[in-house]
């Protein structure tokens, strides 16, 4: 069960860069950051054509 969980979080970090929260100062800001990134990841999962390539 560990590998699928790690794969999920690796994908989530790759798609949203969710670990980049170093400038958040409050709990409310942290929750907003996390839920916003999760919403973006689920949107990109549902509509992959919305994703843009950053390797240009």
Give the tens place of pLDDT for each residue, 15-49.
Answer: 878 777 777 788 888 888 889 988 988 888 888 88
pLDDT reported for residue 53: 61
Residue 34, classified by CB atoms within 10 Å of its CB into exposed (0-12), middle (13-18) or buried (19+), is middle
Rounded to whole angstroms, the Cα distance separating 17 from 38 reads 10
Predicted model pTM: 0.61
Strand, helix or coil for residue 49? helix
pLDDT reported for residue 16: 79
pLDDT reported for residue 45: 85
How many CA atoms lie less than 13 Å away from 34 in the CB half-sphere? 7
Reported as a pLDDT band with limits 50, 70 and 90, residue 52 is low
Question: Counting runs of H as helices and runs of E as strands, what totals does the chain give?
Answer: 2, 0
pLDDT reported for residue 14: 86
């Amino acid at each position: 069960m560990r590998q699928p969980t790690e794969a999920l979080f690796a994908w989530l970090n790759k798609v949203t860069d969710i670990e980049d929260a170093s400038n958040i100062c409050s709990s409310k800001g942290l929750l907003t950051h996390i839920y916003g990134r999760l919403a973006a990841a689920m949107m990109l999962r549902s509509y992959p054509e919305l994703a843009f390539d950053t390797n240009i």
